Structure 1
Amino acid sequence: MKRLSLLGKRLAMMVAAVACIFGLFSPTALAEDHIIKMGADNGMLAFQPAQLSVKAGDTITWVNNKVFPHNVVFDANSNPGGAELAESLSQPKLMMTPNQEYAITIPADAPAGDYSYYCQPHRGAGMVGKITVQ
């Protein structure tokens, strides 16, 4: 009887250890935070950085930096996730105040590829960006 109890305890410890290891290496545990400035430090109408590589589970925060107003609109016609995902990632409402933020987390099921986005008021001035989901 004691032998059976000892085997049960060992099995429980092994299961717990495996669960901890999987928890350490889950996508959420490895997720990173990224910041993109809306309006470059030098006053140019640009996202800084303009290109960024991320993984599913990563969080991207856009911060209103210079030359307001800005927004973040993902191009429904040029991203691998389609129009519905583009809309869910977008923030079409204009951000008017310094340091105002907008954040998204890349969904776990987001298809890999390049996601183009832009600032609606400044798109013609070249304020565009690209997120590459790996």
Structure 2
Amino acid sequence: MLNIERLKTLPPKKLSKQLSFFLVSLMLIMASFLILIKPSLAETYKVLMGTDDKRLKFVPETVIIKSGDTVKWINNLNTPCNVVFDNPEVPQEIAEELSHKELVFAIGDTYESTFSDDIPSGEYTYSCQPNRGANMVGKIVVQ
């Protein structure tokens, strides 16, 4: 803590060193805070698995995001759902990282995938495997 009374008794050269140390420390603290706050600038986008009137669709069907953003899928149906990136255009390792092959059954169950900086920009289509025949397909566009 900075002791003002003590600073008044210091010779000017020592005061300058003390003040410089304090200012450098303050700048380092502020810089580390700014570095830590960057991840919080990322957004989370919500996608419903099923419409409010119980149709087998993702809502919205297309989501446009930036690297670092997260997509959160929320089950809105009483039928089993999942999220699988199985389009041949999606590299296998990325598809595995983003997919959630286990089924959710209850309304309100969720999955989340963060589209990290190592995922290239582009379009990533996905589907709900049990409901793919009903054309339950969505798309994430990473800018």
Q: Tell me, yes or no, whether TM beats 0.5.
A: yes
Take 1:86 and 1:127, find their aligned partners in 2: how far apart are those partners? 17
How far the C-alpha of 1:67 sits from its partner, in A, is: 5.1
Question: Counterpart of 1:130 in 2: which secondary structure?
Answer: strand
> Of residues 80, 83, 98 in structure 2, which corresponds to 1:72?
83
1:62 aligns with 2:73: yes
Unpaired segments of 5 or more residues in structure 1? Answer: none
Counterpart code for 1:31? A
The Cα of 1:105 is off from its aligned counterpart by 1.9
In structure 2, give the amino acid aligned to 1:66. L
Picking from 48, 64, 80, the partner of 1:53 is 64
Q: Which residue of 2 aligns with 1:126?
A: 135
Give the % identical residues: 39
Shift of residue 76, structure 1, vs aligned partner: 4.6
Q: Deviations over 1:14-59 (max 9, x none)?
A: 23233333433x2x12011221111111222111111001222222
Report the count of equivalent residues.
130
Paired residue secondary structure (1:74):
coil
Larger Rg: 2
Matches within 5 A, 1:95-110: 95-110=104-119
- Structure 1's 93 and 17: CA in aligned 2 closer, same or farther, altered over 3 A? closer
| Map of 1:18 onto structure 2 | 31
Q: Which one of 10, 13, 18 corresponds to residue 5 of structure 1?
A: 18
**Aligned 8 A contact 2:78 2:106 in 1:** no
Alpha-carbon distance, 1:84 to partner? 0.8
- 1:71 is displaced (CA, Å) by 0.9
Q: SS at 1:115's partner residue? A: strand
Q: Which residue of 2 aligns with 1:90?
A: 99
Unaligned runs of 5+ in 2: 1-12
Determine the C-alpha separation between the residues in 1 that align with 2:89 and 2:41.
28
Deviation >4 Å, runs of 4+: none
Q: CA deviation at 1:108?
A: 2.8
State the partner residue of 2:4.
none
SS of the aligned residue for 2:40 comes to coil
Give the aligned residue type for 1:83. Q
